[in-house]
Structure 1
């Protein structure tokens, strides 16, 4: 397999001794991962002490064999949720939102009265269940709203609340969309504009957006599914905090470093991003709405504000994955050392190599891989 590898020139960084020493091993691990999984494209960034220290890209971005490079636009997928969560934490630190005050109190009208808003959710379906009144921003971010992942996954396509909000974890993009709806309709915040103003613009993330930009088309990654079939990049026309972000490995590395440093938060709030308080009680993450597992089958992890918190050999950390039929992403950060590894792939088959790739950079971390990837073999 021909593999293209390049350091990003647009990120003006000095490769420190630690990163310089790890690059040969990282390159070798990436090549082995691609050979073992058949993945066509892979991009990796390393953050040391809160600073981007290395950005690498390997393989191809499309069926024409054009190289994947550090400024190739790729799907952020559910890494969008972590970025959105950081925005909400900043708004809370500024007193503009209370994480534990119901989202319903932000809205001028009762939630079901908005009906089924195609761009956001099926709120009209909740008219007969008053529990929508108790759902808070914290519940949306730690996936305890009681919703399924999305209403379209329900047998009848209708949104419903499956358990009392706040009582347990069940992954839900619909919950994230409810929080976005509350911010936009209740506080008048345009989520895309706010992300650009606070993060993407100041950090130089010029190729990142939650909505398709025509400028992305000149260097864009298509994707490969589990059967090795290539699919064109979907040009997302709507801002969806649950997962519509386009980004590059270079851009998202800047955002990850920003988050692990706690930038933009007062000192007393900087620990709130990795803070995770809701126990996760299911044996695996998907399918969502699984019953509680026995104590021995539960991961040593808790749900945080848009991320999953864990404690391992190197102390507390947090991570977030991103996945669709042709995308595999992960971000793992260790809070005390402010070290992270970010992996983006335009080939879902790369996911199987993530535990080994993360270990090659960070060592043993404590990430509950079997909970997120229960089909992993020999890991």
Structure 2
């Protein structure tokens, strides 16, 4: 038995109980792990893609796409949530590779007037709130993509709803969708780029992602996934009409398999730019990802080797470097986990947020033990199924 199959069998035993699978194939082991996870969590739908090595090897769906019982399929339109941020980071890496964007130049340099002078814009962010705090002048694209702007996740989570900078930009990690929206604003207002069209041309069209968009298409309604919330209640799919690089993407598991393949292979990027996107750049010193503005943890409570890349989080484990990105809302749980050297990935899209505790077992069944920091991502309560 080869080393990888041995790892997969060990994963199955932890995720789905004893196996009668001395000769089970990797796909059978994944199948059993997913079925065990769905039974344990009660989740109604899940889509999975496995990339190995460097090409799609397995795409499969389970369950339902809506409360009427329609089947979830590989071409069902699902909400990408914050996986949008990684796709956007790929665009930024391309622009930097072409010398159209300097990741370390202050974003203020690209604007015709001071950021607060643009005011509070519903389509982007509450830039007017930053008046009187000139630290916004030091924020760079790299800081945005490292989640080091000093912003909260969004201004609306602040007690008074006002955007503010909580620490010196670039000094530490604190997840922020508002930061991503700042970079979108600068690309559109400063570089005169249409981010939706640029992503369509540079990423979605280039990689054959035919059913992916940052805005709603009427054709999506034909095969659309609604969602289920933590209390088991169904949630209709939101028809997002505005491009938001922080999280407006609709996609399919087939398309996300194509993106993960491009990402792991560095398609459309020179080697140095690809390495620059996925290498560790900013050490992460918090106990968990959320709440976003928590204090630094004591060294013994931190995840060793955990760092921010560009639009991903990097980690070290028994199979060498890895990186990941999650996506979440009240009715969505998504996850991308990749092993960099082996060019192997798992992509999970679930239209039921209750599926998230099953992700660790599913990823282990597909990739073996990776060292993926599940407790940092989700907290102990969502790390594994019962």
Q: Does 1:321 align with 2:321?
A: no
What is the aligned partner in structure 2 of residue 308 from structure 1? 313
**Partners of 2:309 and 2:207 in 1: CA distance:** 24
- Whether 2:242 is the aligned partner of 1:228: answer no
Q: State the match for 1:15 in structure 2.
A: none
The equivalent residue for 2:302 is: 298
1:155-207 deviation digits (Å, cap 9, x = unpaired): 11000000010001110000000000000100011111011111111222111
Hey, what does 2:73 align to over in structure 1? 69
Q: 2:155 aligns with which of 142, 151, 154?
A: 151
Q: CA deviation at 1:365?
A: 0.7
Segments of structure 2 that go 5 or more residues without pairing to the other structure are 1-23
After the TM superposition, which residues 145-224 of structure 1 pair with which residues of structure 2 at under 5 Å, given as runs?
145-224=149-228
The alignment partner of 2:281 has SS state of strand
Residue of structure 2 in register with 1:276 after alignment: 280
Q: Could you tell me which residue of structure 1 aligns to residue 355 of structure 2?
A: 350
Change in Cα spacing, 1:265 to 1:298, as seen in structure 2 (3 Å) is same
Structure 1 residue 378 displacement after superposition: 5.7
Distance 2:217 2:146 in 1: 30
Separation of aligned partners in 2, 1:202 and 1:172: 28
- In structure 2, what is the equivalent of residue 6 of structure 1? none
Deviation of 1:220 (Å) = 0.3
Structure 1 or 2: more helix by fraction: 2
The counterpart of 1:249, out of the listed 232, 236, 253, is: 253
Matches within 5 A, 1:65-144: 65-144=69-148
Query: In the TM superposition, what is the alpha-carbon distance from 1:273 to its structure 2 partner?
Result: 2.1
Correspondence for 2:382: 376
Spell out, residue by residue over 1:8-37, the C-alpha distance to the aligned partner (whole angstroms, 9 max, x if none): xxxxxxxxxxxx931111111111111000
Q: Provide Cα deviations, 1:211-233, integer angstroms capped at 9, x if missing partner.
A: 11111000000000000000100
Distance in 2 of aligned mates of 1:250 and 1:89? 23
State the 1:339 CA deviation: 0.3
Cα distance in 2 between the residues matched to 1:376 and 1:248 = 24
**2:61 — aligned with what?**
57
SS in 2 for 1:234: coil
Supply the distance in 1 between the matched residues of 2:315 and 2:370 (Cα, whole angstroms): 9
**Deviation per residue, 1:113-158 (Å, 9 max, x gap):** 1000110000000011000000000000011000000000101100
Which residue of the partner structure matches residue 332 of structure 1?
337
- For residues 267 and 157 of structure 1, the distance between their equivalents in structure 2, rounded to whole angstroms, comes to 42
Q: Which has the bigger relative contact order, CA under 8 A and spacing at least 6? A: 2
The answer to whether the Cα contact below 8 Å between 2:361 and 2:384 also exists between their aligned partners in 1 is no
Indicate the residue corresponding to 1:5 in structure 2.
none
1:378 and 1:273 map into 2 onto residues whose CA distance is 29
Alpha-carbon distance between aligned partners in 1 of 2:240 and 2:302, rounded to the nearest angstrom: 36
Give the TM-score of the pair, scaled to structure 1. 0.93
Shift of 1:377: 5.5
Pairing 1:366–2:378 present: no
Q: What is the RMSD of the two structures over their aligned residues, measured on CA atoms?
A: 1.1
SS at 1:315's partner residue? coil
Indicate conservation of the 8 Å contact 2:47/2:62, yes or no: yes
Q: Which residue of 2 aligns with 1:237?
A: 241
Distance across 2 between alignment mates of 1:120 and 1:220: 27
The offset of 1:267, in angstroms, is: 2.2
CA drift at 1:270: 2.3
